[in-house]
Amino acid sequence: MVKTADPVQRARALLEMRRPAEAERELRGLLAEEPQHAAGHALLALALVEQHRVDEAVAESHEAVRLAPDTWFPHYIAGQVHNRARRPDEAIAAARAALALSPEWAPIWELLARAHLLKGEWPLVAGAARQGLALEPESSDLMSLLSLAHTRLGQAREAGDTAARAVALAPESATAHLVYGRAALASGDPRTAADAFREVLRLDPGYGQARDLLVTALKERNPLYRGLSRLRGRFLGGWRLLFLLPALPPVIMVFVLIALLHWAAWVAEAVTVLRLARAKATSLLFEGSESRVALASCGLLGAGAATLVAGIVLGNDVVGTAGAAVMALVTAVQEAAHTGSPRGRAVLYGWAALLGVAVVVSVASGAWPVALLTAYTALATIWIAAGVRRVFRTLGDARTY
């Protein structure tokens, strides 16, 4: 009996220390001697999914459930595996199976909340978190999940209160400070949010999401950027408006307004990022590509403005319009840079390059309409980019959350 228990305990300890390969070796040895050991298969599934060997992990979790279907632990581990493999429907089914056997164990409710989180089902996230807190009211993780759900549901006061409670329960938890920062950001307090995200990075310097959110909070402290971002969010428009153009030509002005608001917001984004990237206190927050994109966007803005002025001074419509088109390329470049899917980002960068070629061709050929059409098309990249992101998200190239 001791011989069987020791490998399991060692494997648990190794998993807690994030050494899944070593945990796998322990469990393989155990299962070679006892192939019907359900807990061994369950823990092996965790070790495998930590190594991104999803198919093997799922198979091991199913084997654990087959060997002990009337025990909550294999179902719970199966839910954990599916959740980490970003298979929320399977995770939800496994969590509910575990709850049917052990409804009084709070971590299963936390698993259910996290699975609903992957699907963006925020009322269900909140409900599962509350059920878990009824059993374990001092759980900072459950409190954090509840706060995040409140934030996503637009319940700012409740989000702030529960986030503050999560931090009080676990002041050394990076996750608790992260949701506190998200709640502050959503309530319009970027200064408090920035402080919270800095604390996350102090506790866990490798927390990439906190770094991205800190950058957002620092940008939001710029009143111009904040105002333009809100206007842009208010006037998103939609492709269905295209069907109104034949009947209501003035709708074109709505598209123009939306496109210009987005362009102004992207200009503010580039200027803000460049300023922060060059400041000593914040320069380390920005990757090289981020600052390079901001620099390129500001360069396009300056070059386009200079070309536009030159065209006006020279009375050359082609040159002046080409200058406006170069300035409009800021939208195309920024939309590409802010696309999460690598393939989608490559497509949009190619699109921006194609627009740049069109500007050069318009000047070389003296074709004024080509330059004007390029300017309009560059501004319209906001809708083109939305379609590209949707396509690559459907293909599974982007994260679901």
**Could you tell me the domains of the chain?**
2-222 (1.25.40.10), 229-394 (no CATH)
pLDDT of residue 126: 97
Separation of alpha carbons 80 and 103, rounded Å: 16
Measured in degrees and rounded to the nearest 5, phi and psi for residue 196 equal: -65, -40
Residues of the chain with pLDDT under 50: 1-4, 235-239, 241-242, 244-245, 394-401
| Backbone CA torsion sign across 289, 292, 297, 303 | negative
pLDDT of residue 3: 41
Angle at 336 between CA 354 and CA 310, to 5 degrees: 55
Separation of alpha carbons 240 and 331, rounded Å: 21
Measured in degrees and rounded to the nearest 5, phi and psi for residue 232 equal: -60, -45
Separation of alpha carbons 239 and 253, rounded Å: 14
What are the angstrom distances between the C-alpha of 238 and each of 234, 254, 271?
12, 11, 27
pLDDT of residue 194: 85
User: Whole-structure pTM over 0.85, yes or no?
Assistant: no
pLDDT of residue 313: 93
Nearest in space to 49 (alpha carbons), one of 80, 72, 22, 91: 80
Kindly report the average pLDDT of the chain as a whole number.
Answer: 85
Q: Where are the alpha helices (DSSP H) in 204-287?
A: 208-220, 223-234, 251-278
pLDDT of residue 117: 94
Give the amino acid at 263: W
Separation of alpha carbons 338 and 373, rounded Å: 24
